[in-house]
Amino acid sequence: MSFRDKLAGEIDDPVLAQALKHFKASVDAWSEAAYSRPRAVVRTARHSWRRAAGWALGCVLAAGSLAGGVYEHYHRQELARIKTMQAAAQEALQARQEAEQSAAASAVTKDQDLLATVDSDVSREVPAAMEPLAQLMDEDGAR
């Protein structure tokens, strides 16, 4: 025996018992109708992953565009820095070449001066130490 049967057995009033039976029957009928009726599926819940995927792809696209712009700006700065360094290196190379050329030119003039001195020393008839004696010989004649 269930609790309902015990409760129905304790009710002495037949009108109240009949009213409770009708109430129970109507609740059971309403419940059966509620469970058997077709339900409408909410479409927003079904397609919510599409909305989330759309937002995610949009965010990825925006972040990618921003990152691409930042990389392009950085790349241009690096190219400008490299060009500046190349120009400075080229100027330094030209300055070094000019310095080497001027040093070589001064070395050539020093070499030419040295060769001229050697040539004058070699072309003398008498060494420098014996020149006074040679002058005496020329003045006296052929002694």
* Range of lowest pLDDT (23-27, 61-65, 127-131, 137-141): 137-141
Residue 17 near residue 11 (C-beta atoms within 8 A):
yes
At 42, is the pLDDT very low, low, confident or very high (cuts 50, 70, 90)?
low
pLDDT at 133: 79
**Over residues 18-38, mean pLDDT:** 90
pLDDT at 45: 54
Beta strands in the chain (DSSP E): none
> Does residue 139 carry a pLDDT above 70?
no
Q: pLDDT tens-digit profile of 45-98? A: 556 788 889 999 999 999 999 999 999 999 999 999 999 999 999 999 999 999
Which tokens hold the place of 114? 């040295």
> Does residue 43 carry a pLDDT above 70?
no
Please report, for residues 4, 47, 75, 85, 95, the alpha-carbon distance to residue 88 in angstroms, rounded to integers and kept in the order given: 102, 62, 20, 5, 11
Q: Domain map of the chain by residue range?
A: 1-39, 51-121
